[in-house]
Structure 1
């Protein structure tokens, strides 16, 4: 496999050959699925199952929803676009040499647009819900990420910063390892989906789990002024974690292939 094919795709099976417009459509649809499924579960389930004793079930359901949407999306759209659905993943894949830097901007735009359309669709559904449902969901933050009052367990801003860097970094490492052009596996989607589920199980209590700026933007625009004020943390720190992981993976693990060829 040539170096150019490694740069062109983050999944095993050869370079991506679809035109850029087709790949952007796949990224938009995949991000729509992630936000509609994950944020939708968070908004609808957490605002419906409010009886004592149901919180843990909702917590697990939300984590599974995010993981399942990525698992399904990777198999449905991954062969077309690489299945990023996340600006941090796109930037990390570029840092690792798996995605051309020229595609990063268009991919991020497609992901953000797909996510915002999904949260807008959820809001439109809420308009036809029970009386007062939508204002209550928005007052509760609309599944936005945050710290202090917006943290489910009251964690502060430094906690959100640290956990977003660590978990996004490890998420990117899982993606790069499972989809490696030579060492990857046909079950990469399962590994990635389960990794995202685990990430949510860890960090929902801390900051509602971002690891994805597109998901954070999509929820925050309907989550109220405080969610928008805190949004910058969930744009900056997942990207830092992904870039660190991408550069580190290329140096530590892909370098072993280059050394073996010499």
Structure 2
């Protein structure tokens, strides 16, 4: 299911502690960086779409598989766009477990999670959390904290995990992705995961608003074929763009019935 970034229910009281999607995801992943408002909203979302926690866990497992694949291909630099909280078991943990020389820059526009992110990265070598708008490609790549861990002249991997849900076609989604592909040097990679068109998802969104839990921001759900179009000009890594549970599954991961029917798609492409 598509999830917005930042604070939810912006129409609530001005002095209210607003739930935050990064913290809600942290709650579903078993983390500790969430509050009462986040847990309450998580319960409301689950009431409308009870499969959400599974999808969040499946997406986290997918990112770990993509990162492991990239490290095996020799990638040591990672740029995670729209990262949310860099909590336990995420990009730098996975990459550095295989190669301690790996470096990771997390980028998110949500400044309210900067403090927790800094705390989570405290003591980590070769990692940074940067508050920036990932639509500003040059601004991100020139940021001092990004440059501290990433040399954009050398191959690096750009991770777009759920990010494109918040970039509608009318706002230039193709151009946005192409701008990052253009910024990649030869040998760089683009990893995408994206929730797809699903009647249950749309029903859950309508129910969320009908029950007056708040206004759910607009999101862009796309088909597998549409997600594949974002990899134009890149060489797709096997198995191509597929439902997330089928992208290089590992035997110890959570089982799901009919994995081919999961409407969350994933792919990894290499720039020639």
- Tell me if TM exceeds 0.5: no
Q: What TM-score results when the alignment is normalised by the length of structure 2?
A: 0.25
Higher relative contact order (CA 8 A, sep 6+): 1
Q: What TM-score results when the alignment is normalised by the length of structure 1?
A: 0.25
